[in-house]
Structure 1
């Protein structure tokens, strides 16, 4: 296993950090908006699935209960 001295390690780390491409403000805002929209759609979907199952179960329990 090759050993690297601390100075060389820091230089390599700085070089790798310089390669990072950060998203623009617009990209961040669009991504955030998409997360909120998709989370809202998912919440509405599961609300109706839950409502459907609950209504069906109440119907079955009322009929057989």
Structure 2
């Protein structure tokens, strides 16, 4: 099935024209939110890791030699 390249390009341009691009403010705000969420997740998992490490160390020293 052969497609017409000109038709394809015209349809592609028509679809791109329908895209609603975000404003600069929206991009900046969502970028800031991503950095905040990444920092919160890093802190959360660091605390969880520290807690698991402490618990495991307690168990190993309790049952160790």
TM-score, with length taken from structure 1: 0.86
**1:31 is matched with which residue?**
30
Unaligned runs of 5+ in 1: none
Aligned length: 64
Q: How does 1:1-65 map to 2 (within 5 A)?
A: 4-65=3-64
Give the CA RMSD over aligned residues: 1.3
> What SS does structure 2 have at the residue aligned with 1:21?
coil
Q: Matched residue of 1:22: which SS?
A: coil
Which segments of 5 or more consecutive residues in structure 2 lack a partner in the other structure? none
**What TM-score comes out, normalization by structure 2 length?**
0.86
- Cα deviation digits, residues 8-39 of structure 1 (max 9, x gap): 22221111111111100000001000100000
Distance 1:59 1:4 in 2: 68
